[in-house]
Structure 1
Amino acid sequence: MNTPMPRLGMGTWHLAEGRHPETQEIAALRAGLDAGITLIDTAEMYADGRAESLVGRAIAGYDRSRLFIVSKVYPHNAGRRHLRRSLEASLKRLGTDYLDMYLLHWRGSVPLAETVECMEQAKDDGLIRNWGVSNFDTNDMRELFATPGGEACAVNQDLYHLGSRGVEYDLLPWMDAHGLPLMAYCPLAQAGTLRRGLLESPAVRTVASDHGVEPIQVLLAFVLHRPDTIAIPCSGNAEHVRANLQARDLKLSADELALLDQAFPAPTSKQPLDME
C-alpha cells in the first residue's frame, strides 16, 4: 500500500438518507477529523451518491494530503465501459482529484481480470492511490490473487464484529498469510436486537466496567485488537464519533478476550459471509 491506512475511520453507510439533519452529520464527520480520525469510507451506492457529496462538504477546507478517503464502485460499473466514468463522478461529488483507496463493492458479472486492469489503469493515471475489494470471501480472494495483477489488492472490506465472527474461520487466516488487511464495516453491529444483545452482554459489561468505558467501546476494541484490522464505525453524532476514539487505545487482556470469546464464540465451521 502506497500510503499507510489509519486503523480507525468513519463509515458513511446510512448517512445522507434523512435520518439526521445534514448539518448534524457534517458536524459529526468534522468532529472526527478535528479529533484526528482522518479515514472516511463511502461509496457511490450510499444514498445514491449523496453520501459522497456529504463527505465532500465535510472535508472542504481540510488539508487533503492528511486525509485517507475510500470509496467503492458498483459491480456493474467495474469494467471498461463504466469504471472510469463512475470514478470521475465519485471524485466530483467528493471534491477531490484522487482517492486513497477504491474498492469493488462486491462481486458481479464483470470478470475480475477486467476490473483489475481498470483499477491498475486508474492508479497509473493518478486517480487512485490503492485499490481493493469488499464483501469477498475466501474463494473470491483466491480467485483474485490467481488473476494477473490481483495481488496488488490492498485491502478486503467485510462485515466483522464480536457477534459476527464467521470471517475468522478461514478468510482471516488466508488474508493474514497473504499480508492483506481486513477493513471491518459495522464493527459495532447494526442497530436492533443483535446490537442490544452485544451491549447488554454481562461479559461485555464486565470488561467495560474494568476499564471504565462504555460497552460500545469494548466492541470496537475487540475488532481493533487484531493488528491488521481497520474499523470504520458509522455515526451521525459528533459525541459518538469522539467516543469511538477512546477505543483506539483500549488494550484488552488475554483473559478479557477469553471472556468475550466464551460469550460470543467464533464458529467452528464455514459460515456464509455476513453483509448486513
Structure 2
Amino acid sequence: MVVGRLGLASNGIDRYGVEWAVDRGVNYLYWGSLRWPGFGQAVRHLAQSRREELVIVVQTYARVAALVGVSIERALRQLGIDYCDLVLLGWWNEPPPPGIVDAARRVCEAGKARQLIVSCHQRQTFREYIEDPTYGAIMVRYNAAHPGAESEVFPYLGPHPPANDQPPGRPGVVTYTATRWGALLDPAFTPPGERTPCGTDCYRFALTHPDVDVTLCGAKTHDELRLALDALERGPMSKEELAWMKRVGTVVRTTSTQRSGNPVVHLLDRVTRVQGLKHG
C-alpha cells in the first residue's frame, strides 16, 4: 500500500478540490465524522477508474459492537466502493473492548476492509496500540502547539526505518490538527516579533518529523488546499524554522481556546476534559 504524505479529510472541500488533490499526488482520503457530499461524490467518481491508487479510510465512532459493521457498510454504500483500505476506530482513549475489536476484524475478514487504525487523545495509551499487531496504523494529534507526541508517542515506535521500508510490526503514523484548528494561523495569538504561520508552514512542521508518515488536511476551500499542497513541494523545515514554529506554538497553546468545529469531537472533548484525560 503506497500512501502519499498528505491526507485529505471529508469535512469541507468540494468534489473538484478532492480530484485536484488526487491529481497532485494525494491518495489518503479520510471519510470521517463530518462527511460533505462533494467529498463522497469525488471518491465515487475516482474509484471507478483509479481505485487501486486510493487509500480510503472510513471512521466509526461505534461504541456497540453490533453497530461497527453496520456503520462501515453504510459508509461503503455512500462512497460507492466494495471495500475500504482502513477502518478507523475513532477516539479510544483506552483500548477498545474485545467486542468492538472483534467486530472490526470481522469487517476485514469479510473483505470489506484491509487493516485497522485507531485514534486517541490520551498519548500514554498509544504505547499499547503500537505494541498491538491488531493495528496497522495510529492516528495522533501533533502540531507546533501540541508537540507532546515527540516524547510520549514517537519514541515507542523504535528506530525510524529507511525511506519506503516499513518494518514488520511498526504501525504507520497519521497526524491531525496541523493548524491546531486554525489557531496557529491567527495573528491574534502570534507572539510579538514573530511571523504568523500559514497553512503551508503548519503542514511542513508536521511532515518534517521523521516518524510522521501522513499528515491529515481538513481544507475547506481551494486556497486552503493549495497551501497544504505547497507543503509537499517545499519539503522539510530547517532547525530554525522548527524553533520558530514551536515558539509560536507555545503561545498559542497557552492563550488560545480554539477547538474543533466538529460537534462530535467538541462533545467528546468536553467529556475528556471532565475525566481529566486531556493532555496538551
Q: TM-score, normalised by structure 2?
A: 0.74
Structure 1: give runs of 5+ residues left out of the alignment.
16-23, 206-213
Tell me whether 1:180 sits opposite 2:168 in the alignment.
no
Residue in 2 that maps onto 1:25: 14
Residue in 2 that maps onto 1:159: 141
Tell me whether 1:223 sits opposite 2:206 in the alignment.
yes
Tell me whether 1:232 sits opposite 2:216 in the alignment.
yes
Residue in 1 that maps onto 2:5: 7
2:84 counterpart SS class: coil
Answer yes or no: is the 8 Å Cα contact 1:76–1:109 preserved in 2: no
**CA distance in 1 between partners of 2:95 and 2:228 (Å):** 37
RMSD: 3.0
**CA distance in 1 between partners of 2:96 and 2:43 (Å):** 34
Answer yes or no: is the 8 Å Cα contact 2:190–2:248 preserved in 1: no
2:133 counterpart SS class: helix
Tell me whether 1:242 sits opposite 2:226 in the alignment.
yes
- Cα deviation 1:42-79 (Å, max 9, x = unaligned): 22x32xxx43x4432112332111111112111414x2
Comparing both chains, which one has the higher relative contact order based on Cα–Cα distances under 8 Å and sequence gaps of 6 or more? 1
- Offset at 1:34? 2.4
Moved over 6 A (4+): none
Tell me whether 1:68 sits opposite 2:18 in the alignment.
no
Answer yes or no: is the 8 Å Cα contact 2:178–2:217 preserved in 1: yes
What code does the residue aligned with 1:254 have? Answer: K
- Offset at 1:182? 2.6
Structure with a larger share of its residues in strand: 2
**CA distance in 2 between partners of 1:203 and 1:104 (Å):** 39
Tell me whether 1:196 sits opposite 2:167 in the alignment.
no
* Residue range with higher mean Cα deviation, 242-251 or 103-112: 103-112
Residue in 2 that maps onto 1:116: 101
**CA distance in 1 between partners of 2:190 and 2:247 (Å):** 15
Instruction: Describe the shift of the 1:199–1:29 C-alpha distance in structure 2 as closer, same or farther (beyond 3 A).
Output: farther
Structure 2: give runs of 5+ residues left out of the alignment.
160-168, 254-276
- Offset at 1:9? 1.2
**CA distance in 1 between partners of 2:153 and 2:244 (Å):** 23
Q: TM-score, normalised by structure 1?
A: 0.75
- Offset at 1:255? 3.2
Overall identity of the aligned pairs, in %: 20
Answer yes or no: is the 8 Å Cα contact 1:136–1:156 preserved in 2: no
- Offset at 1:196? 0.7
**CA distance in 1 between partners of 2:107 and 2:89 (Å):** 13
Instruction: Describe the shift of the 1:102–1:232 C-alpha distance in structure 2 as closer, same or farther (beyond 3 A).
Output: same
